[in-house]
Amino acid sequence: MSNHIITKYPFTGEVLAEYKYQSNEEISQCLLKSQGTFEKWKKGSILSRTKLLDKLSLILIERKEEYANLITQEMGKPYKESIAEIEKCVWLIDFYSKNAEEFLADELIETEAQESFISYDPLGCILGIMPWNYPFWQVFRFAIPTLTAGNTAILKHANNVTGCALAIQDLFRTAGYPASCFQTIIATHKQVEKIIKNDIVKAVSLTGSEKAGRTVARIAGQYLKKTVLELGGNNACIILKDADLNTHIETIVKARMQNAGQSCIAAKRFIVVEEIYEEFLKEFKEELKKIKFGAPLDPKTELSTMAREDLAEEVQRQVDESINQGAKVYLGNKREKAFYEPTILIDVKPGMPAFDEEVFGPVAAVTKAKNQEHAFELAENSNFGLGTMVFTENIEATRKQIGNIQDGAFFINELVKSDPRLPFGGTKASGYGRELSREGILEFVNKKTVYIK
């Protein structure tokens, strides 16, 4: 294994930078510093932490073009989407700046005691293992509530966005956070395993693949450490016969093609009742053709390359195997290196990779349902449980289906998306635990019962 990481611009293959993995001794020092900082950081007031959030927000706003460029260069996201990602981080920071004090306040409980309450105390050093597809957003939704609750954080980011990882570390320090409050490490998988086992690390938050989640959960479980796992998904997008396609088709296409389809919460399985099936295919195809393809750094570009060539190759495998099992290409299905043409697969059925697996690229798998009941049965036929979206005009009838879908989210007439105000997470192979909202900031605290007589 190489002792270096080389980052590349996916659109051209141009080398951006080279980074050396840290030694075991350097990582040990990071952990010791994190623990030392925690002893002081946990004693500070919540107000002092939210003031730092305000500084962080201002710096992000001032430098958003710089950070958006970095995101786009490292993982190929269109520049306009990178700008939106930074702006969403600002929204997240401002949300916790306004609400953290209330979320973390002692919760009084009336008992026979003179005084009894729940105290929300930080745990210590928390390890965050984060993915490349939203290099700033994924880190911030882990780090902001975690640090604001009084913990310290160690970040192990995806190798291909190492520049973003180091920029985020610098950002926290520039905002005035103690130097070892938030640290980025450049580590191998073996080193990460040792970090999880280290007594200094109290819990782990991972956003990534199901395979990575199972590995981290197994290691952390051996050492009785809490984990929050946000893993893959193959979200169903149900199109009922009364769906208003004129109003919603742009949203439906965006639900699959945003970030070149490289999103855990993207619509991946389009389950369409037969009465509207042909109309849906026609409208979806026409809307797809409007998407502007180009170089990621061009502000007009709406869809570009995938983040790496091997990722595009994996999508190709899933599509090819599905075609071999009877699926048909309705549009697209051309690949050149890391670019994968927006694709519509039809006649997709359970048992095919395009239905059963998470296809992490710009491929819409379309399945025909006999009726509404069949559509919801197909939607629930999944090992994943991140989110479901339904497009219909009959809101009241669809409300009755909420309890029948065992996902972490249920959206009607909107694409599944994360919002700082709402809890985010999944069920089944999509993981467990919640990020964002009050739920997210209470994941890495000790909910301590205090009883005074």
Task: Concatenate the DSSP letters of all residues of 67-129 into one string.
Answer: HHHHHHHHH---HHHHHHHHHHHHHHHHHHHHHHHHHTS-EE--SSSSEEEEEEEE-SEEEEE
Single out the residue of 131, 78, 3, 145 nearest to residue 303, CA to CA: 78
pLDDT in tens, 22-42: 999 999 999 999 999 999 999
The reported pLDDT for the residue numbered 2 is 73
CA dihedral 429, 433, 437, 442 (to 10 degrees): -170
Single out the residue of 282, 278, 120, 147 nearest to residue 205, CA to CA: 147
pLDDT in tens, 293-310: 999 999 999 999 999 999
pLDDT in tens, 51-99: 999 999 999 999 999 999 999 999 999 999 999 999 999 999 999 999 9
Average pLDDT on 103-116 reads 98
The reported pLDDT for the residue numbered 420 is 98
Give the global pTM.
0.98
The reported pLDDT for the residue numbered 411 is 98
* Chain mean pLDDT for the chain: 98
pLDDT in tens, 147-161: 999 999 999 999 999
Average pLDDT on 369-387 reads 98
Within 324-383, strands assigned E span: 328-331, 335-336, 339-340, 343-346, 363-369
Instruction: Reply yes or no on whether 358 is catalytic.
Output: no
Q: How many CB atoms lie within 10 A of CB 333?
A: 18
Helix (H, G, I), strand (E, B) or coil at 17: strand
Catalytic residue among 74, 85, 210, 230: 230
Residue with tokens 């191998």, as numbered in its chain = 188
The reported pLDDT for the residue numbered 189 is 95
pLDDT in tens, 184-229: 999 999 999 999 999 999 999 999 999 999 999 999 999 999 999 9
The reported pLDDT for the residue numbered 284 is 98
Burial of residue 292 (number of CB atoms within 10 Å: 0-12, 13-18, 19+): exposed
Whether the per-residue pLDDT at 144 is higher than 80: the answer is: yes
Give the domains, in start order, of the chain with CATH numbers.
4-231+430-452 (3.40.605.10), 235-420 (3.40.309.10)
The reported pLDDT for the residue numbered 1 is 57
